[in-house]
């Protein structure tokens, strides 16, 4: 029996620059109609690999060696004219951020029509019909209306569907997907994945899908490869790899994913991936590996078979990994109430002098209390008002109704609407941590200067003690004192978020407001941040309101969870109870949309 000729063959592909490799000797094949997933964290080279499958190189990178063959024809070293015949018609890419990949000043229909103009011999009328047919195939309601829309007039999910329709226009045999659902709400994501699964079954297109989210790959793919620092470290059938990961990195990655069913804190991977300029001489994962041996530091393992269809690049593949056991959260002591939100409503004021549309409430009649030392999770999709609630508590959004009461140690007081009207003691006791540490840390300040600001403002720490105090704070977030003199740009994303957390704790707060603080981070780093917030909150008896769109993340850290929809709380309960026995139909649908990886 001979296997059918592969659609796509990648052999020892090397992509990089003069002194570094972004993609280092990657090989895999894609059978016709098969779906291959590439998992990896940011900087692992997965997106660069995906682009090079089309014969495209990012700026500053070049093809160094190895080959990519589509239907047996090489993709490397071809002229642009030769590649243009293949791109779009044989192999098509759905880019990571379709909102920026679509031309904002042309209608959706016209952009799809352009693909047909290039890759088909249809006349204008036939093309117009085809556009509507394609938009229908990606299940966009009212294709005729959508074709006349601009990208900014569509929702995120609709834009992604339009981009898929555009990629399908040339009837490609291989579809490349770069993080297809990143930035979408969970329910939208779930519907989009249904569509992709369905397309694959019906159109029989092969897929190569890149994602950091193993849950997404688990829905879409038959086989997956795991990338780390430019190299493929494990490859095999999806079920096999997820159920019995053999490479220590894959094992650690799987263990770092929060589980809705079990709860508990996921385990982080210590350290950070190596810089591509300074790869360790042996195994790339050796410096972070729990099972490291002397040989790992000198020998670079090759990807080799361990069982039928399953390849691992490890000197001593651990075929019997420990079952994933998340550390249970320690129960919070039942404390006194700290914050009471009552009947809170917020609407954004009308914009402009002549605007007469009535402002739409973003948050409506929301009430809850936070007990000293507990973590309250606020979960909801975009537009549910979860961030606005935080903004109102922080004094950044002015409520139209309701009040927020802070019961600090010495006195109980209603909070003024604006942060600028609040006394310093109230400002100190509520600290906000932002979603993206790139934006929340001033790029022109050293870490010591960033930490010195709250220390000097609230603590009146004398200048001579600043360094020691700041180093203490850094050690609490598990960063060394050497970090003090670094600039934010010299730190990794996870380290930056730790600095932001240290800055919040520098104020010695009573309440932390965490606004999607792990969204911009990799899963393994997310696990570390969750652990950190949990440990620090318990240690210092600090309460936290943890906002996230990801129910599994909230389940991992929160004592209680409130589910928000359209600005209202639809259900609030203890985390375990809410996930085990949801009452509200919306909570149930959210729980169903969470992508759990099979174990």
Q: Would you tell me which residues interact with other proteins (CB under 8 A)? A: 394-396, 419-420, 422, 424, 427-428, 432, 434, 436, 439-446, 449, 453-454, 457, 487-490, 507
Phi and psi torsions of 250, nearest 5°: -60, -40
Burial class (CB in 10 A: 0-12, 13-18, 19+), 344: buried
**Dist CA 500 CA 480 (whole Å):** 15
| Alpha-carbon distance values, 171 to 95, 116, 174, 204 (Å) | 17, 10, 9, 11
Residue 151 vs 502, nearer CB to other proteins = 502
Residue 371 vs 457, nearer CB to other proteins = 457
CB of 436 to other proteins, least distance (A): 7
Residue 47 vs 440, nearer CB to other proteins = 440
CB of 398 to other proteins, least distance (A): 13
Residue 305 vs 348, nearer CB to other proteins = 348
**Dist CA 91 CA 85 (whole Å):** 10
Q: Which residues contact 16 (CB under 8 A, 6 or more apart)?
A: 22, 23, 24, 61, 62, 64, 230, 276
Burial class (CB in 10 A: 0-12, 13-18, 19+), 208: buried
H helices present in 138-243, as ranges: 143-147, 156-168, 186-203, 214-220, 238-243
Residue 446 vs 538, nearer CB to other proteins = 446
Residue 317 vs 437, nearer CB to other proteins = 437
How far out from the chain centre does Cα 545 lie? 20
**Token pair recorded at residue 312:** 């691992």
- Look at the alpha carbons of 10, 12, 18, 21 in this order and tell me if their dihedral is positive or negative: positive
Q: Which residues contact 42 (CB under 8 A, 6 or more apart)?
A: 212, 493, 522
CB of 278 to other proteins, least distance (A): 13
Residue 124 vs 490, nearer CB to other proteins = 490
**Dist CA 427 CA 418 (whole Å):** 11
CB of 509 to other proteins, least distance (A): 11
**Dist CA 481 CA 474 (whole Å):** 7
On whether the CB atoms of residues 499 and 490 are closer than 8 A, the answer is: no
Residue 442 vs 475, nearer CB to other proteins = 442
């Amino acid at each position: 029996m001979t296997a059918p000729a592969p659609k796509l063959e990648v052999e020892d592909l090397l992509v990089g620059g003069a002194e570094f490799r972004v993609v280092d000797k990657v090989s895999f094949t894609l059978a016709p109609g098969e779906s291959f997933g590439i998992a990896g964290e940011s900087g692992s080279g997965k997106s660069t690999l995906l682009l090079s499958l089309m014969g495209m190189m990012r700026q500053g990178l070049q093809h160094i060696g190895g080959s990519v063959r589509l239907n047996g024809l090489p993709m490397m070293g071809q002229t642009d004219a030769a590649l243009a015949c293949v791109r779009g018609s044989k192999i098509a890419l759905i880019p990571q951020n379709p909102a920026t990949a679509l031309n904002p000043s042309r209608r959706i229909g016209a952009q799809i029509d352009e693909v047909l103009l290039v890759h088909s011999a249809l006349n204008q009328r036939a093309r117009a019909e085809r556009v509507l047919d394609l938009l229908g195939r990606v299940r966009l309601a009212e294709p005729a209306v959508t074709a006349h829309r601009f990208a900014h007039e569509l929702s995120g999910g609709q834009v992604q569907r339009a981009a898929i329709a555009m990629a399908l226009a040339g009837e490609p045999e291989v579809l490349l997907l770069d993080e297809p659902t990143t930035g979408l709400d969970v329910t939208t994501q779930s519907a989009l994945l249904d569509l992709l699964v369905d397309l694959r079954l019906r159109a029989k297109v092969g897929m190569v899908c890149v994602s950091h989210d193993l849950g997404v790959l688990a829905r879409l793919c038959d086989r997956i490869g795991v990338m780390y620092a430019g190299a493929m470290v494990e490859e095999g059938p999806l079920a096999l790899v997820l159920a019995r990961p053999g490479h220590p990195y894959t094992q650690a990655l799987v263990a770092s994913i929060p589980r809705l069913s079990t709860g508990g804190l996921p385990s982080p991977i210590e350290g950070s991936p190596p810089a591509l300029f300074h790869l360790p001489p042996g195994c790339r994962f050796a410096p972070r590996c729990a099972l490291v041996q002397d040989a790992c530091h000198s020998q670079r393992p090759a990807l080799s078979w361990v069982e039928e269809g399953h390849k691992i690049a490890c000197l001593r593949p651990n075929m019997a990994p420990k079952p994933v056991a998340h550390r249970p959260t320690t129960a919070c002591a039942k404390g006194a109430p700290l914050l009471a939100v009552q009947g809170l409503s917020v609407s954004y004021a009308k914009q402009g002098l002549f605007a007469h549309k009535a402002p739409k409430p973003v948050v409506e009649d929301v009430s809850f209390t936070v007990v000293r030392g507990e973590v309250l999770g606020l979960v909801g999709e975009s537009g549910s008002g979860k961030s606005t609630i935080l903004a109102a508590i922080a004094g950044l959004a002015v409520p139209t109704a309701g009040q927020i009461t802070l019961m600090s140690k010495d006195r109980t007081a209603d909070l003024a609407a604006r942060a600028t009207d609040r006394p310093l003691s109230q400002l100190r006791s509520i600290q906000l941590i932002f979603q993206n540490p790139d934006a929340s840390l001033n790029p022109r300040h050293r870490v010591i200067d960033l930490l010195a600001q709250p220390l000097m403002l609230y603590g009146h720490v004398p200048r001579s003690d600043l360094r020691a105090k700041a180093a203490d704070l850094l050690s609490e977030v598990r960063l060394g004192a050497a970090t003090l003199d670094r600039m934010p740009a010299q730190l990794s994303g996870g380290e930056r978020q730790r600095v932001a957390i240290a800055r919040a704790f520098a104020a010695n707060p009573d309440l932390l407001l965490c606004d999607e603080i792990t969204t911009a981070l990799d899963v393994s780093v997310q696990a570390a941040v969750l652990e950190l917030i949990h440990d620090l909150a318990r240690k210092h008896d600090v309460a936290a309101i943890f906002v996230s769109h990801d129910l599994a993340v909230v389940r991992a850290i929160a004592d209680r969870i409130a589910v928000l929809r359209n600005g209202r709380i639809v259900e609030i309960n203890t985390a375990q109870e809410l996930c085990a026995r949801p009452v509200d139909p919306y909570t149930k649908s959210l729980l169903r949309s969470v992508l759990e990886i099979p174990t």
